[in-house]
Structure 1
Amino acid sequence: MISEFKEYAKKLGYQQWTAIQKAVYTPLISGENVVGIAPTGSGKTVAFTLPLLERLRGSQGLGLIVIEPSAELAMQTQKTLLEWGKLIGLTVQGVVGGANLGRQIDRLKDHPNVLVGTTGRLMNLLELDKLKLETVQAIVIDEADNLLSEETLDPIRTLVDRAPDEVQLGFFSATQNDSLRHVNRWFNQKMTTIDVTSIDDTRGKVRHGQLEVSNRKKEQMLLRFLHLDDFKALVFFNQVSTLQKVSGFLIHRHVRETAKLTSEQNQTSRQNALRDFRKGKVRLLLTTDVAARGIDIPKLPAVINFDLPRDEKTYTHRVGRTGRMHQAGLVINMGDDHDLRRIKQLVRDQFDLSPIYFNGNQLSDTKPVQTDHPDETSYIQESSDRKPVEAHKQPRQPHQEPLAHSNKHHKKRKHLKRKGMRHKRKAKG
């Protein structure tokens, strides 16, 4: 490794390289095509950044393209590449959807050495003949298990076909799938697969809890997490429609410590939500798998599965947001008894799930003593500056007819008055 990178790594406090960083360095700097599999948060971005930038040192024009599944992840990766690239005089540009296309085209005239972008915007530039690939030495497909799907596989293959025949390819992912196992068929290249999942030691201790709650009470249960000290979490939903409904519920109750992160928002709104979440202004960030893919939140305490994931791959990506780089983490799976049994069965080969409870305003391993009000919403406490939730209202008692002998405090009934009038008319006649 070049001295500039060694010195900067020491300055950043790197004590040792992670398993994926050590494993792919030599193959990548030697020009091999690599499929790199490593857990989320194990340093995959730095793993491909250092050897590929080192190969580019002193080169002219565009030499490296990194493809990301979202604008947020592209900007995150761009920041890392720029941080290391400037040490050796390399320039980096980001091209993502939602940003001004004309401005991006103008900046391409400066001939950046590295381009980080989303598939759609890269294809826009290619179709407009504004992106020239003649000098490209390497292409990295990050979050490859996601990007090699039906929707984006063909555009990526088109981009690779337009590059020189000897272009080096790198595919990086937290999980293995059929597309990655047979990636050589899609790109007609010999691949070296490096999977360090079994030897990676970057994960901190992460507890996977099961919080039993009925589906109709999940919204109110979220309020309880805001009473935990120093707590914040990514809250995952399967559908944007459910996320919007829950967001509306929280807004209606004047809760200001939550925000949304969805693919439907514009780029500025998503950036603001992430910034406020990283700073702690927002403590519950409601999101989906698509919107949160690959996002790095340093020292994130917890992940909440409001909707339980449908497969093990999705579960792995979600829980990988917490417990990074030796930090402790917590995963809270919410659902009824049937849902929790299903998710435990789904991930039992990889994760150990155990019951978790709310005991007052604390999370506990011990089931709380049953009270006169066993409904979980009876535990919810609101801060003094918020309106009490409806769960605190006393239930309306069913209507009861007064007893016959207890009507002295009530107005005379109309039929009694009419009876008296009939009696009077009869007597007069």
Structure 2
Amino acid sequence: MLDVFKTKFAAAGFTELSPIQTAVAEPLAAGQSVLGLAPTGSGKTLAFTWPMLEALRVGEGTQALILAPSQELAMQTTNVVREWGQLIDAKVLAITGGANVKRQMEKLKKHPEVIVGTPGRITNLIADGKIKLGHLKMMIVDEADELLTDETLDQIREILDATFAETLQLGFFSATETKILDELPRWFGQHVEKIDVRAIDQTQGVVRHRTMQVGNRHRVDLLKRISRVDHMRALVFFNKMRELQHVALELRHQHVSYVALTSNQRQVEREKALRLFRQGKVGLLLTTDLAARGLDVPELPAVINYQLPKDVTTYIHRSGRTGRMGADGLVLTFGDDHDVRDFKKLMATTDYEIKPGYLVDYHIVDTKPDKVVPPLTFDHPETAGNAANGRHRVVSAGHPDEVKRVETSRKRPAAATPKKKKGHNKHSKKKGMRKKNRDRFSNQ
């Protein structure tokens, strides 16, 4: 590590490198291509940033390219790399979709040493001749398990074709291992050293993983009540955009503080939502897996799976947003009894300790509640009768969002028989007319 980096590292209060930072430092410095596997929040960004910056020659054009799956992660990475790059006068530029492309093209004329971007925008600007990668020495693929799929895999290979480099150093980083990560030599034509520190990394704090049994109709109400827990800030994950929009509308009607982060928003809207959430001005950030991939929110207390994750990998990435860098965290997964059973089967092969959680007096607890709440005060005469008949509400231990009604031995009085309205029979007039006609004809 460069001396200026060591000074900054010490000034920030750090005393030792994380396992992934230690493990990849020497191979990357030696020019080897690596696959780095480490938990989320374990310092992967700095693990590739330091060796990358040390290899740069300032003023000799774009020499490093970092690819990220989302605009937010690209901007987040840009801020980190720029903070360290300025110590050696290296220019770092973000090139992402959703941003002003003309402004990006103007900044490219300054020949930044490092570009951080999303594959789609990068390939478009390469095709237009605006990005030239003839001097590129290193390419980093962050969140590789997400990027090396379908269309983005093809885009990354197009980018490689534009480098004109016979031996480009590659770095792949991920929190989870997928099949394609075992096939990197086949797809990229060179040996990639696998470095996996997930088993020895202890940088994550204590994270509680809890299920909350709740019916579909009551999830919004439960989310509203959880939002009132002291110091609660939570990323709320959805599988479908339609459900996210529906919940957002319900929360707005109930005056619950929230923001949404979706892939179809303009960049300025996404940046504003993240800023408000990071500053603690709103308690809930509604999002999808794609929009929040790799998102880093310092000291995030909780993650809520409003809808079940589709697989274990998705759960790992969602839950990795909390409990970062030694902080404690909480992951809540909503679902009815059927959903909870399916979820437990899904997670059976993992090391996560999944337990039921309960909301009691605006606290998330592990103890099953069992208490009777005094009768409610009713204003409506019909419901007032229910209270008079000794009906109480009991908070269900298994269903913290639902209220069950329990009858006492006193019987409910029978409802009075409604009086029949006069002249209600629509045929009465016709019957009268027929009798009048019979009398008239019988007298003739």
Q: Deviations over 1:56-90 (max 9, x none)?
A: 14451111000011111111000011000010111
Instruction: Give secondary structure in 2 for the equivalent of 1:5.
Output: helix
CA distance in 1, matches of 2:46, 2:252: 39
Q: How does 1:74-223 map to 2 (within 5 A)?
A: 74-163=74-163, 164-223=165-224
Name the structure 1 match of 2:327: 327
Name the structure 2 match of 1:22: 22
CA distance in 1, matches of 2:49, 2:417: 84
CA distance in 2, matches of 1:26, 1:379: 52
CA distance in 2, matches of 1:376, 1:184: 55
Name the structure 1 match of 2:416: 402
Name the structure 1 match of 2:409: none
Instruction: Give secondary structure in 1 for the equivalent of 2:198.
Output: coil
CA distance in 2, matches of 1:370, 1:215: 24
Indicate conservation of the 8 Å contact 2:262/2:288, yes or no: yes
Cα drift, residue 402 of structure 1? 2.9
List runs of 5+ in structure 1 lacking aligned partners: 381-390, 392-397, 423-429
Q: Deviations over 1:319-340 (max 9, x none)?
A: 0000000000000011112211
Name the structure 2 match of 1:73: 73
Task: Indicate how the Cα distance of structure 1 residues 249 and 9 shifts in structure 2: closer, same or farther if over 3 A, else same.
Answer: same
List runs of 5+ in structure 2 lacking aligned partners: 373-391, 404-411, 433-444
Task: Indicate how the Cα distance of structure 1 residues 302 and 69 shifts in structure 2: closer, same or farther if over 3 A, else same.
Answer: same
Q: How many residues align?
A: 397
CA-based RMSD of the aligned residues comes to: 2.4
Indicate conservation of the 8 Å contact 1:92/1:114, yes or no: yes
Cα drift, residue 254 of structure 1? 2.2
CA distance in 2, matches of 1:146, 1:232: 26
Cα drift, residue 242 of structure 1? 0.5
Cα drift, residue 400 of structure 1? 7.8
Name the structure 1 match of 2:406: none
Cα drift, residue 342 of structure 1? 1.6
CA distance in 2, matches of 1:227, 1:123: 45
Amino acid corresponding to residue 79 of structure 1 in structure 2: N
Matched, 1:373 2:393: yes
Indicate conservation of the 8 Å contact 2:213/2:400, yes or no: no
CA distance in 2, matches of 1:400, 1:413: 21
Name the structure 2 match of 1:240: 241
User: Which of 1 and 2 has greater Rg?
Assistant: 2
Amino acid corresponding to residue 212 of structure 1 in structure 2: Q
Give the share of equivalent positions with the same residue, in percent. Answer: 47
CA distance in 2, matches of 1:23, 1:379: 46
CA distance in 2, matches of 1:399, 1:239: 48
Task: Indicate how the Cα distance of structure 1 residues 178 and 78 shifts in structure 2: closer, same or farther if over 3 A, else same.
Answer: same
Instruction: Give secondary structure in 2 for the equivalent of 1:36.
Output: strand
CA distance in 1, matches of 2:396, 2:306: 16
Cα drift, residue 399 of structure 1? 13
Indicate conservation of the 8 Å contact 1:360/1:379, yes or no: no
Amino acid corresponding to residue 300 of structure 1 in structure 2: L
Amino acid corresponding to residue 47 of structure 2 in structure 1: A
CA distance in 1, matches of 2:37, 2:136: 24
Name the structure 2 match of 1:40: 40
Moved more, 213-222 or 316-325: 213-222
Cα drift, residue 251 of structure 1? 1.0
Q: Deviations over 1:278-329 (max 9, x none)?
A: 0111101111000000000000000000001011000000000000000000
Indicate conservation of the 8 Å contact 2:144/2:172, yes or no: yes
Indicate conservation of the 8 Å contact 1:359/1:367, yes or no: no
Q: Deviations over 1:260-288 (max 9, x none)?
A: 11101111111111100001111011110
CA distance in 2, matches of 1:220, 1:40: 31
Instruction: Give secondary structure in 1 for the equivalent of 2:324.
Output: coil
Instruction: Give secondary structure in 1 for the equivalent of 2:393.
Output: coil
Name the structure 1 match of 2:386: none
Instruction: Give secondary structure in 2 for the equivalent of 1:330.
Output: strand
Name the structure 2 match of 1:271: 271
Indicate conservation of the 8 Å contact 2:66/2:139, yes or no: yes
Q: How does 1:403-418 map to 2 (within 5 A)?
A: 403=417, 413-414=421-422
Cα drift, residue 403 of structure 1? 4.5
Indicate conservation of the 8 Å contact 1:213/1:376, yes or no: no
CA distance in 2, matches of 1:7, 1:151: 42
